[in-house]
Amino acid sequence: MLNDASGFKRIYIACGQTDLRRGIEGLATMIRFQFKLDPYDKDTLFLFCGKKNNRIKGLLWEGDGFLLLYKRLEAGAYSWPRNTSEALEITPQQYRLLMEGFSIVAKHPITELTNPPKGL
């Protein structure tokens, strides 16, 4: 599921480092209050990376409940943006590149839910 971006309306990544011990409530709270985004936005995937770059968590609201995703790579690591603590919206193409190990370079962080950047 995490290798394919089809079916997601939007994809956000939480740059920097996230404590992956957080569960659904902790990640949803982080999305709402730290990033000022709506965790209940249906078909929007929020991705988080921990201290180790080979593990990510995803949070997805499906309309009737949250889906918590966790992936640990057996070999290799994600090239996760570590230089900020903001959420960035990425395109499906950037998402596929991230899943393949390429770096994501975003020029405009998400600062408000009502004003997402047009292109990264």
Per residue in 12-61, pLDDT (tens digit) is: 999 889 999 999 999 999 999 999 999 999 999 999 998 888 899 999 99
Q: How many CB atoms lie within 10 A of CB 3?
A: 9
Q: Which helix (H) or strand (E) holds 61?
A: strand 55-61
pTM reported for the whole predicted model? 0.78
pLDDT > 60? residue 120:
no
Kindly report which listed range (42-51, 82-91, 96-105) carries the lowest average pLDDT score.
Answer: 96-105
